[in-house]
Chains A and B, each alone.
Chain A
């Protein structure tokens, strides 16, 4: 025994190195890459049609003073239906004023008109704020104003050079949580999948070792699921304004964790090892099959706050652009490999424990 503890050559499997390198990359790139410039706030947020309005715009990550003459601003009703600002003035890097004449007539008839503010700058690129200002209809309508809506178009927009993450309203910096919160769930699902695979192997071959393996993956999968739940709650508190909004995906993931927690409780209540292993294997395969409707089907059938559900696109568009993909996919692989690594350690510990007890 002495020589094996004293002089073992320490070698780490390549995929463990890959896990470390990927996670270091994810933490570095996830934190240091800046966000695109964006608009945080516009005041006033209400105006009447047929009048001049001066908007005070507060930016984020912006440098409005540089090349101050190249600012252009629009208020957009839909698509190409826009009005351009008469005058744009940059006060400092974060503050801009833009004056608009709001036409007294609108091409569509509504009770109130929410307009999107679009700003374009030669080097800073384009930023926009949906529903920046609400317009109430004018008392007297001058039909000649109607053509103002179609005279200007948003053309020659710029894109900021370099690497940035997209600025999303409400999310702002928390868009980086895509690299930390989402991979928890991906890792959990893959770990539970591997666990179900070992359960199947236990059914086919009946070796107790497969049971030890599958339980190790369940333990670590539960840890990752809990992490996903808690980090999601912190994120939700600061974007959806509540730790728990009874969103369908939140509920279903909580149910999924409860199912696996019940599995662990059931295991500890059975005394006979073989019976324990057989029950676990059956329950575990059933639980993994249940995951698919709980996490992938039901949330897509109803409205949800999560992207990718209830008609919202996920893994596409502004929520995950090509720059973010370069960090997101390594994050998924890295966190999964870390989960695999911890599961392996848990398995080796449990195997050692079993060999010592019996």
Chain B
């Protein structure tokens, strides 16, 4: 149990299913991107007039805002629960 706790740097084992899934997806995406950059196709981002840079920028904005909103949603749910208990 202690070991598990010390490994859990991102709080993956404590978060609800949806957030956990999202975080795992994001990590996989980042690792994939980092690997892809090192191994093959260094010019992927610059193909087709660098359109993938725009795609990347849009994805970063949308994913970050969604994660933030999901966190906020969880916070409100916790508060509602406490409110009900009182």
Listed in ascending order, the chain B residues whose CB lies under 8 Å from chain A are 45-46, 48-51, 53-54, 56-58, 60-61, 64-65, 68-69, 72, 75-76, 79, 82-83, 86
Chain B residues with CB below 8 A from A176, complex form: 54
Chain B residues with CB below 8 A from A356, complex form: 79, 82-83, 86
Q: Is A29 an interface residue (CB 8 A)?
A: no
Chain B residues with CB below 8 A from A41, complex form: none
Can you give 28 contacting A-B residue pairs, CB < 8 Å? A27-B58, A35-B49, A60-B49, A61-B49, A172-B49, A173-B49, A173-B51, A174-B53, A176-B54, A177-B54, A177-B57, A180-B57, A223-B64, A223-B68, A227-B61, A231-B57, A235-B53, A235-B57, A239-B50, A338-B65, A342-B68, A345-B69, A345-B72, A349-B76, A349-B79, A352-B83, A356-B79, A356-B83
Minimum CB–CB distance from B69 to chain A (whole Å) comes to: 7
Closest to B56 in A: A234
Q: Is A184 an interface residue (CB 8 A)?
A: yes
The winner among B49, B69, B76 for most chain A CB atoms within 10 A is B49
Minimum CB–CB distance from B48 to chain A (whole Å) comes to: 7
Chain B residues with CB below 8 A from A231, complex form: 57, 60-61
| A238-B53 CB under 8 A given contacts A349-B72, A356-B82 | yes
Q: Is A353 an interface residue (CB 8 A)?
A: yes
Q: A223-B68, A352-B79 are in contact. List 12 more A-B contacts (CB 8 A).
A: A27-B58, A173-B51, A226-B64, A227-B61, A227-B65, A234-B53, A234-B60, A235-B53, A342-B65, A342-B69, A349-B75, A356-B83
Chain A interface size, as a band, is 20 to 34
Task: Check B60 against A346 for contact (C-beta < 8 Å).
Answer: no
Q: Is A181 an interface residue (CB 8 A)?
A: yes
Chain B residues with CB below 8 A from A353, complex form: 75, 79
Task: Check A238 against B46 for contact (C-beta < 8 Å).
Answer: yes
Task: Check B58 against A173 for contact (C-beta < 8 Å).
Answer: no
Docked Cα-Cα span, A173 to B51, in Å, equals 5
Closest to A353 in B: B79
Task: Check A184 against B61 for contact (C-beta < 8 Å).
Answer: yes
Minimum CB–CB distance from B79 to chain A (whole Å) comes to: 5
Closest to B83 in A: A356
Docked Cα-Cα span, A301 to B83, in Å, equals 54
Q: Is A254 an interface residue (CB 8 A)?
A: no
Q: Is A230 an interface residue (CB 8 A)?
A: yes
